[in-house]
Chain A
Amino acid sequence: MFSAELLLNSVVAGLMLGSFYAAVALGLAITFGQLDIVNIAHPTFVIFGSYVAYIVNENFGFDPVLIGVVFVPVFYLLGMLLYQVYYACFERTGQESLSGLAFFFGLMFIVEVLLILVYGVDYRLVEAPYIGKTWHLGYIDFPLRMAVPAVVSFVMTGLVVLFMSRTFMGKAIQAVSQDRLALQLMGADPIKVKRIALGIGIATAAVAGALLIIIQPVEPSVGRLYIGRVFAIVVLGGMGSIPGMFVAALLIGVVESFIATFYGPSWAPAVGYGILLLTLAIRPQGLFGRA
C-alpha cells in the first residue's frame, strides 16, 4: 500500500498541480494582494479563459497555450475596463469594502450563468498532441497534461515577478496600496497604476484558463472550486508577495495530492479551505507576509 514510489509520484504530481494553481492565483495575488481589490470573480474569469481556449481550439485546432497567450491583450483590456467601472462606482466613493465585494460576487454569478446559458453544463475539453502522453523518468511519471501547464505557469509567474521588480510600473503597482501619496509625488497616477495592475491580473486569467482546460474538462461552475483554493494560496503566501504565493501554491498542491492519494479524492477540495481557515485563525499575515 504505502511505498516510496507512490509517495514520490504523489509529491511530483502535487508540485505540478501546485505550479498550475499558481497560474490561477497569480491574478488574485496582484489584485487582492497588492491593490486590495477583492476580485472574488477571478476564478470565473479563468473559466471564461478556458471557454475561449475551448472555442478557438474546437474551431481552428490551435494549441490551447498559444490561444491563451494570444488572448492576453484582450483580457488585459477587459481588466482595464473593469477597473474603470470599479473605480467610478466604488473606490471614488469609498464604498469598496462591502459593495465592491458584492459587485464582484454578482459579476461572478453573471459570467457563470451566461456560460451555462450559452454552452450548457456539459464538460468541455480541448485537444492538443501532448494531452494523454506521459514521460517517465525512473519511477516517476510526468503526464504532459500536467507538466506542460506547470512549466507554462512557472514561466508566466517568473515574467510577472521580473516585471514587478525591474520596471517602474511594476514598482509603482507594488507601492500603490502602501503609500498613495508618495506614489503621486513620484509622478505616477495611482488610478492609472491600478488600472494597469487589474488589467495584468485579469490578463493572467487568459493563460490560466487555457492551462486549466488542458488539465481537466471544464464546465461553468468549476470556478467555484477554485475560490477557496486561490484565496488560501494568496493569503498563505503573504498577500503581496508573488514568490510567496508560488511557494504556497506548491504547498497546497502537494498537500492536496497527498490527501487524494492516501485518503481519497473526495476530500481533496477541503484541503484549501482548511488551510485557509487555519491561516486566517493562526497567522493571517501568511507564511511570508509582513507582520
Chain B
Amino acid sequence: MKLDRFWLGVAIIIVAGFVFTKSFDNEFYFFTTYVVLQGVIIAVAWNMLGGFTGYVNFGSAGFFAVGVYTSVALHKAFGLPLPVLVLASGIISALLGLAAGYLTLRLKGIYFAIATLAVALMLETVASNWEYVGGAAGTYVLQPKESSIFDNYTELLFMLMLLIAIAATAVSRYLSSSRLGQGLSAIRDDELAAECAGVPTLKLKLISATTMGFFMGAAGAPFPFFIAFVDPLSAFALLITVNSIAMPMIGGTAVWYGPVIGALILGAVQEVTTVTISSEINLLVVGVVLVLFITLAPKGLVGLVHDYMAKRRADG
C-alpha cells in the first residue's frame, strides 16, 4: 500500500515537472530549479553512506567533478548523447566510490572522511593539469543544437535532473527500507556488534559507497551543458561538499526523505539569498545553519517534527 503511494507521488511529480516546462518560458525558473535538484541528488547520494552508515564523505565535490569531467571528455572525444554521458559519468564516479571505500572503509570512519577529502583535492590538481578538458583555465562547452519536445535545452536538462533525482530518491528509499537498510543502520549504531551478529559490514558499506558515487557522478554529467563553462573552481566547488553534508543534516539523516526535505528547503533559501543579497552571505548562511542544526537539532527537521508529535501525543 505504501509502495503504491510512493510511486503514485513519483508519477505526479514527473507529470508536474513536464507541465512546468510547458507552461513557463522564462529560462530563469529552470536555472533555479536545476540547481535545487542538483542539491537534492547530491544530498540524497551523500546520505546513502553518511546518513545510513555514519561514514562521512568530505569529497562530494570530487565525485561530482568526476562526473563533470567524464562528461566533458566523452562529449569532446565522441560526442555521445546526454543519457549515455550520465550513465558513463555515474559508473566512473561509482568506481571511484568503490575504490575509496575499499581502501579506507575498513578503518575508522574518520579515515574514510579524510581519504575522500584527499581524493577530491588530488583530483582537482589532476583536473588543473589536464589540458584536454581545459586545465586550470577552463573550457567552454556548447549546448548541442538538438531538436526535442522542449522549447530550450535548459528545460531538457531540468527534466533530466528531475528524473535522476527521483531515481536517487527511489534507490535511497530502497536502501533504507530493505533488509540491506537494516544492516546499514546496524553499522551506524554499533559496527562491532553488527559484525558480530553476522552483518557483512564491509560489503554493505561498499554497496553504499558505490551507489553514492554513482549518483554524485550522474549529477555532474549534465553540469557542463548547464553552465556552458567548466573550470576546476566550479566543478570542485566547496559549496557542493558543504551542501551535501548540510542538506541531509538539516532535513534529518536517519530516513530517506530527510535529505530531500533538507535539500529542497536549503536549496530554495540559497537561491533566494544568492539573488537578493550576495553569494558570500549565502555561503555564510549555509555554514551557520549547518552548525546550528548539528549542535541544537542533531536529528534534523524530521527529528524535530517527530519529537513534537510524540510530545503532543504524550500530553494527550
Which residues on A sit within 8 Å (CB–CB) of B115? 276-277, 280
Of chain B, the residue at the smallest CB distance from A278 is: B103
Of chain B, the residue at the smallest CB distance from A88 is: B295
B111 at the A interface (CB under 8 A): yes
* In the bound complex, CA of A119 to CA of B287 (Å): 18
B11 at the A interface (CB under 8 A): no
Shortest B247–chain A CB gap in Å is 12
Which residues on A sit within 8 Å (CB–CB) of B199? none
On whether the beta carbons of B294 and A228 are closer than 8 Å, the reply is no
On whether the beta carbons of A117 and B280 are closer than 8 Å, the reply is yes
B87 at the A interface (CB under 8 A): no
The answer to whether residues A266 and B136 also contact, given A98-B54, A98-B109, A228-B122 and a CB cut-off of 8 A, is yes
Stretch at the interface among A73-81, A102-110, A179-187, A242-250: A102-110
B121 at the A interface (CB under 8 A): yes
On whether the beta carbons of A110 and B122 are closer than 8 Å, the reply is no
On whether the beta carbons of A85 and B125 are closer than 8 Å, the reply is no
Shortest A291–chain B CB gap in Å is 14
Secondary structure class of chain B's binding surface, majority of residues: helix
Which residues on A sit within 8 Å (CB–CB) of B295? 85, 89, 103
On whether the beta carbons of B284 and A102 are closer than 8 Å, the reply is no
| Contact mask for chain B residues 93-111; partner A; CB cutoff 8 A; 1 contact, 0 none | 0000000000110010111
Shortest B15–chain A CB gap in Å is 37
| Contact mask for chain A residues 270-291; partner B; CB cutoff 8 A; 1 contact, 0 none | 1011101100110010000000
Shortest B205–chain A CB gap in Å is 14
On whether the beta carbons of B107 and A98 are closer than 8 Å, the reply is no
Shortest A183–chain B CB gap in Å is 22
Stretch at the interface among B77-85, B145-153, B238-246: B238-246
Among B117, B253, B283, B294, the residue within 8 A (CB) of A103 is B294
| Contact mask for chain A residues 88-102; partner B; CB cutoff 8 A; 1 contact, 0 none | 010001010111011
| Contact mask for chain B residues 113-127; partner A; CB cutoff 8 A; 1 contact, 0 none | 111011101100110
B234 at the A interface (CB under 8 A): no
Which residues on B sit within 8 Å (CB–CB) of A103? 291, 294-295
| Contact mask for chain A residues 186-201; partner B; CB cutoff 8 A; 1 contact, 0 none | 0000000000000000
The interface on chain A, measured as residues whose beta carbon lies within 8 A of the other chain's beta carbons, has a size of 41
* In the bound complex, CA of A89 to CA of B296 (Å): 8
On whether the beta carbons of B118 and A117 are closer than 8 Å, the reply is no
A267 at the B interface (CB under 8 A): yes
Which residues on B sit within 8 Å (CB–CB) of A89? 294-295
A227 at the B interface (CB under 8 A): yes
| Contact mask for chain B residues 127-140; partner A; CB cutoff 8 A; 1 contact, 0 none | 01100000010000
On whether the beta carbons of B121 and A105 are closer than 8 Å, the reply is no
Which residues on A sit within 8 Å (CB–CB) of B111? 235, 280, 284
Which residues on A sit within 8 Å (CB–CB) of B103? 277, 280-281
On whether the beta carbons of B110 and A101 are closer than 8 Å, the reply is yes
On whether the beta carbons of B287 and A113 are closer than 8 Å, the reply is yes
Of chain B, the residue at the smallest CB distance from A281 is: B103
On whether the beta carbons of B109 and A110 are closer than 8 Å, the reply is no
Most buried by B among A109, A232, A272: A109
On whether the beta carbons of A280 and B107 are closer than 8 Å, the reply is yes
On whether the beta carbons of A106 and B246 are closer than 8 Å, the reply is yes
Among B117, B129, B242, the residue within 8 A (CB) of A266 is B129
Residue pairs across A and B with Cβ atoms less than 8 A apart, 5 shown, are A110-B287, A113-B283, A266-B128, A277-B103, A281-B104
List 13 other contacts, CB 8 Å, given A106-B291, A270-B126.
A40-B58, A99-B294, A101-B56, A101-B58, A106-B288, A113-B280, A221-B238, A225-B121, A266-B125, A267-B125, A273-B119, A277-B115, A277-B118
